Amino acid sequence: MQPSHLNSNPRSFSVQEKLRKEAMALPEVYENICHGTMAFYIGNKMFVRLKEDGTTIALYNKERDEWIAKNGDVFFITDHYKNYPMLLVDLLSVDRKDLIDLLQTSWSIRVTKSIFASLKKNL
């Protein structure tokens, strides 16, 4: 059986590549696996991961209610995430600008102080 992060559905592969391209554009990010799916990390902290369906991501966001109010079909949570500062996003429906904004926000929430200081020093 093939791991879920290698979903063979062409549409899933396309959105996974979209996620990879935008996440890897952020500083000091690397890809790894989390719960059997692709995930992206800053330092040792995961900031976004692909859900098992291959088309939904979970990322950190402190303004999730505003995103859900903007478009509840694209931005949502399940009961599992109710007590966590996380947002679920439908990669098939989210536009690129919103995806980039959400990834940057999640990255900034999860970046360690030492990595941030190092990046700031090198500007």
| Full set of structural domains in the chain with CATH | 4-118 (3.90.1150.30)
Q: What is the mean pLDDT of the chain?
A: 89
Determine the average pLDDT of the residues in 45-69: 96
Instruction: Give the pLDDT score at 70.
Output: 96
Helical H segments across the chain, by residue range: 10-24, 64-70, 96-110, 113-121
Q: Which of 19, 26, 41 is nearest to 112 (CA)?
A: 41
Instruction: Give the pLDDT score at 30.
Output: 97
Buried b (16+ CB within 10 A) or exposed e, 54-78: bbbbbbbbeebeebbeeeeebbbbe
Question: Residue 89 carries which DSSP code?
Answer: E
